[in-house]
Chains A and B, each alone.
Chain A
Amino acid sequence: MHTPQMLLEALRVAWMPPNGALHGIALDRLMRWNLIALCICFLAAHVWLIAAILRRRSFNQTTIPAAFRWIILTSLCAMYIWMAITAQRLWAESRFVGPEPEAMQVEVVGQQFQWYFRYPGEDAAFGATRPELVNAPGGNPLGLDARDPRSADDIVSSVLVLPVDREVDLRLRSLDVIHGLFIPGMRLKENAVPGLVLHVHFTPSVPGAYPILCSQVCGSGHARMQAMLSVVSPAEFDTWLAARQRARAEKAAP
């Protein structure tokens, strides 16, 4: 039974991966405080429990003074209220208010078992898609409707590349079943639900490569449904986007 050193080992590797998002800083702090408060309560309760067991021989049936109990109860309730309020502030910041108008638009589409990322191109507008047109081998995994002019310059990628320090507004869709877009490094999670278009927005603040996972069981390939997010400097981003557009144009030309 080697639980102890296993726990130590665990503590070394098993913490939240390095944070790369603007809102993540406050979130990590909140998480840390919550876990600390939790551990204190856990220990306090167990100290109490063990003490009660140890001093059980004394047959005088002492009772805790009611005042003491009420103090603990009120402080715990205070803790819950503090949790509710602090967390609520973060939640409101990220979910109640939409992105700024100049936020970059990217569409994320989940499909068994693959993430697709669609950039609107110059016209900053996504072309219409129709499920009956979906044809991944034919190079149209999202079913872009060619008759829609806006779809002419849309770029579909299997990696998510984002410029650092620019807010991005993700537009979540799913073609088949419920998937869960989970970017641990960005402290971001939202389900992609077929039939709905959901928006989440965040600002990557640290360049680097971050895993993208699927957090909602969606079939036999659920665990393999992974992609990469690479946060790069604006210049690199522009070159990347330009390259993709050229490639697309060449494909369209002949």
Chain B
Amino acid sequence: MRSRIFTTHHRTLGIFYLFLALAAVTVGTLLSLVMRLHRVWPDLSLPFFGAMKPEDYLALVTMHGTLMVFFVLTIAPQIAFANLVLPEQIGARGMAFPRLNAAAFWLTALALLVLLAAFFVPHGAPISGWTSYPPLSAVPSAGPGQGAGMDLWLASIGIFCLASWLSAVTMLTTILGERRAGMTWSRLPMTVWAWLITSILTLLVFTVLLAAVLLLFSDRHFGSSFFVPMGDLVNGRIVGRGDGSPLLWLHLFWFFGHPEVYIAILPGMGLATSLFANFARRRPIGYRLMAAMLVAIGLLGLVVWGHHMFVSGMNPYAGTAFALTTMAIAVPSTIEVLCWLAILWGGSLLLRTPMLFALGFLSFFIAGGLTGPILAQPALDAYLHNTFFVVAHFHLVMAMAGVFSIFAGIYYWFPLITGRMMNETLGKLHFWITLIAAYGTFLPMHLSGLAGEPRHYERLSGPATSFPALLPVERGITHSALLLAAAQLIFLWNLFASARRGRIAEPNPWEATTLEWAPESGRSRVERGPYEYEIPANETNFNPQWERAAKEE
């Protein structure tokens, strides 16, 4: 009998991961609120922070981005949800390497602690953004927070890379080796497809980030010169001793960074497909096509990293090449969107809370995704790069779409975890406020971006700027951001209240066909596809994948 804490049980670990992500997202959200307040009332002195110095704002942005990307969107939709249901969905008895899996969790938790520790070291957290470009990140004297804070950031990311490496190995081995008989590739739930691809991506890119972090660390402490150019002069001291190249870091980081953002969104796409099929009570249009498109996104995602570097000094011809690959990657995403819209058209949609959030995911993915092809044009990106237009882009397509997929998954699997339902009315309330407030927060950012407002600006003043004209917009953004964050309290209340005294759920409340809802009763073969709902919809229109399909095709 193992102890409750150091369990190796995959579902418990999944819950642990969710709590980890919840902690991270709470901190990250608070940081973002402080940022928003500071942007519109720069001289406002806040509790705990007091009057903020410019570097404090940059530290907030950096930590906000790091927390949200690594510890929320890489953890919750991928690793947490996979640990919750992946083995059941493929009819395995558990993760392939339970101990490895548990070790991965504890490493992740350690990484989070190390990152948060950066707030409490002298000069505070790093200020060079979640992309931490050198030499700013390579030279401790380049700014406050670039000393101990930056070291902790690097250490944390390094640990995180190891952890995600381990869990990717576990997930891949499970998916490839532990599938139940009859669980063929064309019978995998779309979520499993997504997790398969994200874990492959994880293996391929997080290791590269690990190498980059290692090199940067060596530049900082062991006097090497991988990223710092000759004669580099920081704070009156010459620190550049060799022909290091900052662009090398950009390439290594974005080779990781772009696949990373797809790691963040692919599980959401898989989950959305499942939920659409489930709540529309019909087979997804073109299951194979959608799976293929997930694979295509994963592969293409490895060759588009340069679209973050159009104006970074990269060769303009390379810019063209990356622009083309980036345009190409918009196509599979578009096909996914069209397939989803086709599923929804004329399906008998049941608008339960998980379905609502899946629909919200779709809406945000379209809204944010569409600005992608604009940014993908070097000529236009030469104006939009590092303006709030980009911030708007990735908050819609990554932040909000990703967070909505997390919500959808939690509302959907909550009965499976706790045996109770979450409150529907609260859920719907939470959905509508979050949806409206999110659009109210991130749509106007496009406009301030068009007006040319750069990122990482802690105040809109300055000799040269016309930005004070933007203050009303910024104020509006801040207000709706406050509303957005406040709406999450409904969710948290709903979460914990329902866990205690929510309505007891029947075994398969959503009438889903995937196997996590249908505990095997001695059956050993999977007999049918994941979403084979009979047509027309009626009482018996769902059968778990164990059941032999009514009509063999």
Decide if A and B touch, CB cutoff 8 A. yes
Interface residues of A (CB under 8 A from B): 1-3, 6-7, 9-11, 13-17, 27, 30-31, 34-35, 38, 41-42, 45-46, 48-49, 51-53, 55-64, 69, 72-73, 76-77, 79-81, 83-84, 86-88, 90-92, 94-96, 112, 130-132, 134, 143, 175-178, 180, 182, 184, 187-191, 193-196, 198, 211-224, 226-228
A45 to B475 CA separation, bound complex (whole angstroms): 29
A16 to B143 CA separation, bound complex (whole angstroms): 32
Tell me if B464 and A226 are in contact (CB < 8 A): yes
Q: Does B98 contact A (CB under 8 A)?
A: no
Residues of the A chain whose Cβ atoms lie less than 8 Å from the Cβ of B292: none
Q: Does B429 contact A (CB under 8 A)?
A: no
Tell me if A177 and B338 are in contact (CB < 8 A): no
In this complex, what residue of B is CB-closest to A48? B341
Residues of the A chain whose Cβ atoms lie less than 8 Å from the Cβ of B200: none
Residues of the B chain whose Cβ atoms lie less than 8 Å from the Cβ of A189: 311, 382-383, 385-386
In this complex, what residue of B is CB-closest to A27? B379
Tell me if A10 and B480 are in contact (CB < 8 A): no
Residues of the B chain whose Cβ atoms lie less than 8 Å from the Cβ of A48: 341, 345
Tell me if A88 and B331 are in contact (CB < 8 A): no
Contacts A184-B383, A217-B127 given; does A228 touch B463 at CB 8 Å? yes
Question: Closest CB of chain B to A140's CB: distance in Å?
Answer: 13
Tell me if A211 and B466 are in contact (CB < 8 A): yes
In this complex, what residue of A is CB-closest to B465? A211
Tell me if B382 and A193 are in contact (CB < 8 A): no
A128 to B537 CA separation, bound complex (whole angstroms): 80
Residues of the A chain whose Cβ atoms lie less than 8 Å from the Cβ of B327: 80-81, 83-84
A-B contact pairs, 12 of them (CB 8 A): A34-B380, A60-B536, A77-B331, A79-B373, A87-B377, A87-B380, A131-B233, A134-B236, A178-B136, A184-B383, A222-B456, A223-B457
A167 to B469 CA separation, bound complex (whole angstroms): 31
In this complex, what residue of B is CB-closest to A176? B234
Residues of the B chain whose Cβ atoms lie less than 8 Å from the Cβ of A69: 338, 342
Binary interface profile of B, 303-329, with partner A (CB < 8 Å = 1, else 0)? 000000001110011011001100100
* Tally of chain B residues near chain A (CB < 8 A): 112
Residues of the B chain whose Cβ atoms lie less than 8 Å from the Cβ of A45: 337, 341, 366
A64 to B344 CA separation, bound complex (whole angstroms): 10
Q: Does B129 contact A (CB under 8 A)?
A: yes
Tell me if B385 and A63 are in contact (CB < 8 A): no
Question: Closest CB of chain A to B492's CB: distance in Å?
Answer: 21
Binary interface profile of B, 381-398, with partner A (CB < 8 Å = 1, else 0)? 011011100000000000
When A and B form their complex, which 7 residue pairs have the shortest distance between CB atoms, in order from nearest?
Answer: A195-B229, A87-B377, A211-B464, A62-B346, A184-B452, A6-B476, A14-B447
Q: Does B428 contact A (CB under 8 A)?
A: no
Q: Does B378 contact A (CB under 8 A)?
A: yes
Docked complex: B468-490 residues within 8 A CB-CB of A: 469-470, 472-473, 475-476, 479-480, 483
Tell me if B55 and A220 are in contact (CB < 8 A): yes
**Complex partner residue of B378 from A87, A131, A175, CB under 8 angstroms:** A87
Contacts A9-B473, A80-B327, A189-B382 given; does A217 touch B234 at CB 8 Å? no
Question: Closest CB of chain A to B523's CB: distance in Å?
Answer: 29
**Complex partner residue of A215 from B362, B386, B476, CB under 8 angstroms:** B386
Residues of the B chain whose Cβ atoms lie less than 8 Å from the Cβ of A35: 374
Q: Does B173 contact A (CB under 8 A)?
A: no
Residues of the B chain whose Cβ atoms lie less than 8 Å from the Cβ of A218: 136
Residues of the A chain whose Cβ atoms lie less than 8 Å from the Cβ of B440: 1, 3, 6
Question: Closest CB of chain B to A77's CB: distance in Å?
Answer: 6
Tell me if A190 and B311 are in contact (CB < 8 A): yes
In this complex, what residue of B is CB-closest to A220? B55
A9 to B447 CA separation, bound complex (whole angstroms): 11
Tell me if B233 and A176 are in contact (CB < 8 A): yes
Residues of the A chain whose Cβ atoms lie less than 8 Å from the Cβ of B373: 34, 79-80, 83
Docked complex: B282-313 residues within 8 A CB-CB of A: 282, 285, 311-313
A144 to B493 CA separation, bound complex (whole angstroms): 64
Q: Does B94 contact A (CB under 8 A)?
A: no
Residues of the B chain whose Cβ atoms lie less than 8 Å from the Cβ of A227: 464
Tell me if B379 and A94 are in contact (CB < 8 A): yes
**Complex partner residue of A84 from B240, B323, B363, B371, CB under 8 angstroms:** B323
Contacts A83-B377, A178-B136 given; does A195 touch B349 at CB 8 Å? no
Q: Does B370 contact A (CB under 8 A)?
A: yes
